[in-house]
């Protein structure tokens, strides 16, 4: 397994719309394993393939405390959404930034597992928020872009300032 490079906002590649996964082979299994290792090492609770510059409809999630309950969703589709919730989100592609975002409270998702088998998940709470957040990445959307123009401008300034400190 390998730790993959995570793209950081405002990298334009984060705005690429992911294509459906059509081949379930050893290369895909390796990508899933590498993405999981990358997510755990970051540390995070979710990672979309788009964030590691692979533009396929694949996300990995693990919201468990023990970090041993990996959920793999390939070609996910939201079938139902209801309720509203506002929760603080962060993102491995926007390090150090946490903001409140509006999401559906409950969702029903259809997807394929790592072997291509159709699965369905009814999710609420943190899992529902995480799935919606990661699915946004597959559409080329980043959570900070859901915020007001003023907040987004401040975040971009902060990210540029942090980048200068690193260099």
Task: Cite the active site residues.
Answer: 134
The pair of structure tokens assigned to 52 is 């590691």
Closest CA to 142 of 8, 3, 36: 8
Q: What is the secondary structure of the chain as a DSSP string? A: --PPPPP-TT-GGGGPPPBPP---SHHHHHHHHHHHHHHHHTT-SEEEGGGGT--BSEEEE---TTS---EEEEEEEEEEEE--EEEEEEETTEEEEEEEEEE-SEEEEEEE-TTS-EEEEEEEHHHHHHHHHHHHHHTT--GGGGS-HHHHHHHHHHHHHHHHHH-
The pair of structure tokens assigned to 33 is 């394993």
């Amino acid at each position: 397994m390998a730790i993959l490079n995570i793209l950081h906002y405002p990298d334009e590649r984060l705005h690429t719309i992911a294509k459906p996964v059509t081949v379930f082979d050893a290369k895909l299994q390796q990508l899933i394993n590498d993405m999981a290792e990358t997510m755990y090492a970051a540390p995070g609770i979710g990672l979309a393939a788009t964030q590691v510059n692979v533009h396929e409809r694949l996300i990995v999630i693990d919201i468990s405390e023990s970090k041993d309950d990996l959920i793999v969703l390939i070609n996910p589709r939201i079938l139902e959404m209801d309720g509203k919730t506002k929760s603080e989100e962060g993102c491995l592609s926007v390090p150090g930034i946490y903001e409140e975002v509006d999401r559906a409270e409950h969702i029903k998702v259809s997807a394929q597992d790592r072997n291509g088998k159709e699965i369905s998940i009814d999710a609420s709470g943190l899992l529902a928020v995480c799935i919606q957040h990661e699915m946004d990445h597959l559409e080329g959307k980043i959570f900070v872009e859901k915020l007001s123009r003023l907040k987004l401008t401040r975040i971009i300034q902060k990210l540029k300032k942090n980048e200068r400190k690193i260099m």
